[in-house]
Amino acid sequence: MKRQIFLTAVLTTTIALAGCKTAAPEELPPQQAVVVPEAVATAAPAATGPVVGTQSHFVNAVNGQNVVFFDTDRYNIDSADAAALQTQAQYLMRYANITVTIEGHTDERGTRDYNIALGERRANSAKNYLVGLGVPSNRIATVSYGKERPTAMGSNAEAWAQNRRAVTVVIN
């Protein structure tokens, strides 16, 4: 019961914060929505380093494997992707209060609408794999950016290969 209230409050806060891009929220979120869970706070080392609940903590813990890559027009999880997703799943099982969004992306060599659909396929593919490893489905959201958010700027095979990706992003 407490956990349900906690999750609902977290979701509400997340969506409230997503809607208020340009101004601070009028009210602070209720106290129980503060993110850092007790168990981890006491176990964490006292000094420096990223804090649990931040993207940098996640990326450090998975050794940069928060991104998986795809072949042209494909959305299947290959063995390299599987290894990365397993590392992600281990992190998510350890820090049970973390929720993530998986962003699906494509390269620029596709038409705009189709690429939004393909990006969604890729995000879903990665999500399904994590769920298959035991991560609860309600902790993973998906969003597709199609070809709108490349990270590599060139128009060549190497750049396109880097842009065909699904990126797991911590959202709380």
Residues at the site binding another protein, with contacts judged by CB under 8 A: 4-5, 8-9, 11-12, 15-16, 18-19, 21-22, 73, 75, 108-114, 116-118, 120-121, 123-125, 128, 143-145, 148-151, 153-155
In angstroms, what is the minimal distance from the CB of 146 to another protein? 8
Q: Which spans in the chain are helix H?
A: 2-19, 38-43, 55-61, 79-94, 112-132, 157-163
Torsion region of 73: left, alpha or beta (phi above 0 gives left; psi -120 to 50 gives alpha): left
In angstroms, what is the minimal distance from the CB of 169 to another protein? 11
Q: Which is nearer to another protein, 61 or 81 (CB)?
A: 81
Q: Which is nearer to another protein, 61 or 102 (CB)?
A: 102
Q: Which is nearer to another protein, 61 or 119 (CB)?
A: 119
DSSP code of residue 28 = P
In angstroms, what is the minimal distance from the CB of 124 to another protein? 3
Bridge partner residues of 169 (DSSP)? 101
Q: Which is nearer to another protein, 11 or 40 (CB)?
A: 11
In angstroms, what is the minimal distance from the CB of 152 to another protein? 8
Dist CA 87 CA 7 (whole Å): 24
Strands 165-170 and 67-69 come out as antiparallel
Beta strands in 29-155 (DSSP E): 67-69, 100-105, 140-146
Q: Which is nearer to another protein, 73 or 78 (CB)?
A: 73
Contact by Cβ (8 Å): 100, 170: yes
Give the tokens for residue 19: 């809607």
In angstroms, what is the minimal distance from the CB of 159 to another protein? 9
Contact by Cβ (8 Å): 85, 140: no
